Chain A
Amino acid sequence: MTDFVSLENISKIFGPTLTTGDRIASKLGARVETRSIHAVSNVSLSIEKGETIGLVGESGCGKSTLGRLIAGILSPSSGRIILDGGPVIRNGAKVTTRVQTVFQDPFASLDPRMKVGETVAEGPITHGLTTKSDARAYAALWFERVGLDPVWLDRYPHQFSGGQRQRIAIARALAMQPDVLVCDEPVASLDVSIQAQIINLFLELTRDLDLTTIFISHDLSVVQHVSDRIAIMYLGQIVELGPVDEVYENPAHPYTAALFGSVPKLVLDDDELVHFDTIEGEVPSPLSPPSGCFYHPRCPLADENCAKARPEMTGISNNRSVMCHNYQQQLTKD
């Protein structure tokens, strides 16, 4: 498998920013938060060219952080990210334009004081993809590509609806002609009927432009629909990885099973009483993750080993892997 994007042992640690006052106070015995958040812990992932990999998990799992690491917005605390043989970040700064991002809130991600045409053209002009004189025509092209009328290039973000703004954000990202697109919850802030439009746009564009995509979402049904492979994250680690249908049909990790079981489904039968496979408790604080396997306090399959030893990412088949001591039990569970 050719790795187009390769994440090698990526970790991202957010330490507390201690001022001199804090340091003195903690020496004197005051309670100052000195723990770090391990937002992403030792994640390795290989992404093929042209594939869409869905990144799912609940709050605090690290999927947004991982997305930002891949996009070059954050630099990893350790490990490296390679894109087509070259680094994404060097010396703390992003050195490639080949990976672009679409953010969750389309209103917040567009500069409210800039005309949208200028926003779309800014990156390409700076990086030589178009000249100042051709910028308008260039932006118009991408506008049409995402289904917007080029006559609106001179409008401001507040004059558009949510769905249109997200199209502008997609146009901005694509105008940089990236090979890799990181989409961080791109449809979460949109109305349901608009979500369908944007998802369809996304499917069309990734196919036409042969984009490699990392699709981050908390909405499992959306991820299932657009992804080839899916990666489930929990407390900064990828706990399961594999083709989306296989993982859905037969999850190998207890958390994956519980997560899919928690998703409400449309009730079409009068007598059906929807039963939720609820997970006990809540996600632990990322400041103090549990010992051994992070999931063991909530896991129905946990034994003493799980509390002591951290599981490794184990290959199940040639394209599935899971981070669990007892995954065989889960696979054979009904």
Chain B
Amino acid sequence: MSRQDTPLTRFWHEFRENKIAVVALSVVVVLMLLALFASLVSPQNPYDLANLSLMDSRRPPGFVGSGGYIHLLGTDPQGRDLLSAIFYGLRISIQIGLAAGFVSLSIGAALGILAAYKGGRIESLIMRLVDLQLSFPAILLALVIVALLGQGKVQLISALVAAQYAYFARTAYGAAKAEKGKDYIEAAVATPLGSRLVVLRHLVPNCTPPLIVVATVQIANSISLEATLSFLGLGLPVTEPSLGMLISNGFPYMMSGRYWISVYPGIALIILIVAINIVGDQVRDQFNPRLRK
């Protein structure tokens, strides 16, 4: 008989063995901490106009600005320290990504599991809607919604949720359908236990593994989608520049050699997304061989 051994500890032990995934996870954690404590680790608060000086604008990396410190990554057209702007931008990107991911997960999973458990007309209705949703390119949908609702954090998150809940719904539906047929659900129903108990205590916990996989990928997608929208000028207002907005700001200067304004936020974005995807891949791989028991 093995020692006390929850599914979580088992999962972690297996995860630890893939060194690359562990590195990626550390990168994600570091970036999240940087974002969380952006105000503490940034040399400058880039949104406090009092800190900015146009004299410092468009300076290359290594420039010592009027604040008396080195701008490690240079400055942007408004004179903002790029390193600080990236930290604050990370915070916004991650916030939006997590919020959109969490809400999409909740709505999508609820719809998917409901459709699978109830069956019949409800199942057809919900899943046809989801299929319809999935046939639209996400960015198109997000654009339309932002155009309708206007700009702002809530509107942006709503657009992202509308574009992504379908993936969660489809995954949750598949998982719930597969689990529904299993003996332990039948055993629970046979006790008898009410539908609510069966769904909440038995069905949902066993559908979470594939949902976690989708969640990691979708969070990365949210971040990327938000960056795209911001790059196009349809994301958050200028006062809260996310990484996409920073890239967009620097775009006109690419040709004149002031690459750092776009490139460094771009690199930060890529590192974040790739790291999340690697973690997501590892999580997905770990859940797969488990199926052969």
Instruction: Enumerate chain A interface residues (CB-CB to B < 8 A).
Output: 19, 71-73, 93-95, 97, 100-101, 103-105, 107-114, 122-123, 126-127, 152, 154-156, 158-160, 169, 172, 176
18 additional A-B pairs beyond A110-B184, A127-B191, beta carbons within 8 Å, are: A71-B190, A72-B192, A100-B190, A101-B190, A103-B183, A107-B293, A108-B182, A109-B187, A113-B205, A114-B205, A122-B193, A126-B193, A152-B1, A155-B4, A156-B6, A156-B7, A159-B1, A159-B5
Q: Measured between alpha carbons, how far is A72 from B205 in the docked complex, in Å? A: 25
Q: Are B7 and A113 in contact (CB under 8 A)?
A: yes
Interface size, B (range): 20 to 34
Q: How many Å from the CB of A143 to the closest CB on chain B?
A: 14
A residues in contact with B194, CB < 8 Å: 126
User: Is B201 an interface residue when CB atoms closer than 8 A count as contact?
Assistant: yes
Most buried by A among B182, B191, B205: B191
Q: Are B2 and A159 in contact (CB under 8 A)?
A: yes
Question: Can you report 25 residue pairs joining A to B where beta carbons are below 8 Å apart?
Answer: A72-B192, A73-B186, A93-B192, A94-B192, A95-B192, A97-B191, A103-B187, A107-B293, A108-B182, A108-B183, A110-B184, A112-B206, A113-B206, A122-B193, A123-B191, A123-B193, A126-B191, A152-B1, A154-B4, A155-B4, A159-B1, A159-B2, A159-B5, A160-B1, A169-B187
Q: Are A103 and B186 in contact (CB under 8 A)?
A: yes
Instruction: Enumerate chain B interface residues (CB-CB to A < 8 A).
Output: 1-2, 4-7, 124, 182-184, 186-194, 197, 201-202, 205-206, 293
Contact among A100, A105, A123, A156 for B5, CB-based, below 8 A: A156
Q: Measured between alpha carbons, how far is A97 from B5 in the docked complex, in Å? A: 33
Q: How many Å from the CB of B170 to the closest CB on chain A?
A: 19
Q: Are A111 and B7 in contact (CB under 8 A)?
A: no
Q: Measured between alpha carbons, how far is A19 from B124 in the docked complex, in Å? A: 10
Contact among B2, B6, B206, B293 for A111, CB-based, below 8 A: B206
Q: Are A126 and B187 in contact (CB under 8 A)?
A: no
Contact among A111, A156, A169, A176 for B188, CB-based, below 8 A: A111
A residues in contact with B188, CB < 8 Å: 111, 122
Q: Are B202 and A111 in contact (CB under 8 A)?
A: yes
User: Which residue of chain A lies nearest to B189 when distances are taken between CB atoms in the complex?
Assistant: A73
Q: Are A101 and B187 in contact (CB under 8 A)?
A: yes
Q: How many Å from the CB of B176 to the closest CB on chain A?
A: 14
User: Which residue of chain A lies nearest to B205 when distances are taken between CB atoms in the complex?
Assistant: A113
User: Which residue of chain A lies nearest to B119 when distances are taken between CB atoms in the complex?
Assistant: A17
Q: How many Å from the CB of A16 to the closest CB on chain B?
A: 15
Q: How many Å from the CB of B93 to the closest CB on chain A?
A: 33
A residues in contact with B293, CB < 8 Å: 107, 158
Q: Measured between alpha carbons, how far is A109 from B202 in the docked complex, in Å? A: 12
B residues in contact with A127, CB < 8 Å: 191
Contact A97-B187, Cβ < 8 Å, known A126-B197, A159-B5: no
A residues in contact with B184, CB < 8 Å: 108-112
Contact A73-B190, Cβ < 8 Å, known A105-B183, A109-B183, A111-B202: yes
Contact among B6, B182, B190, B201 for A94, CB-based, below 8 A: B190
User: Which residue of chain A lies nearest to B5 when distances are taken between CB atoms in the complex?
Assistant: A159
Q: Measured between alpha carbons, how far is A104 from B7 in the docked complex, in Å? A: 24
A residues in contact with B190, CB < 8 Å: 71-73, 94, 100-101
The 5 residue pairs across chains A and B that have the minimum distance between CB atoms: A108-B183, A109-B183, A123-B191, A94-B192, A111-B184
Q: Measured between alpha carbons, how far is A93 from B197 in the docked complex, in Å? A: 15
Q: Measured between alpha carbons, how far is A105 from B2 in the docked complex, in Å? A: 21
User: Which residue of chain A lies nearest to B192 when distances are taken between CB atoms in the complex?
Assistant: A94
User: Which residue of chain B lies nearest to A107 when distances are taken between CB atoms in the complex?
Assistant: B293
User: Which residue of chain B lies nearest to A110 when distances are taken between CB atoms in the complex?
Assistant: B184
Q: Measured between alpha carbons, how far is A101 from B293 in the docked complex, in Å? A: 24
Q: Measured between alpha carbons, how far is A126 from B7 in the docked complex, in Å? A: 25
B residues in contact with A154, CB < 8 Å: 4
Q: Measured between alpha carbons, how far is A25 from B207 in the docked complex, in Å? A: 35
User: Which residue of chain A lies nearest to B120 when distances are taken between CB atoms in the complex?
Assistant: A17
A residues in contact with B187, CB < 8 Å: 101, 103, 109-110, 169, 172
A residues in contact with B189, CB < 8 Å: 73
User: Which residue of chain A lies nearest to B3 when distances are taken between CB atoms in the complex?
Assistant: A159
Q: How many Å from the CB of B250 to the closest CB on chain A?
A: 48
Q: Measured between alpha carbons, how far is A260 from B253 in the docked complex, in Å? A: 89
User: Which residue of chain A lies nearest to B185 when distances are taken between CB atoms in the complex?
Assistant: A111
B residues in contact with A114, CB < 8 Å: 201-202, 205
Q: Measured between alpha carbons, how far is A94 from B198 in the docked complex, in Å? A: 14
Q: Measured between alpha carbons, how far is A120 from B243 in the docked complex, in Å? A: 52
Most buried by A among B2, B189, B190: B190
B residues in contact with A95, CB < 8 Å: 192
A residues in contact with B2, CB < 8 Å: 159
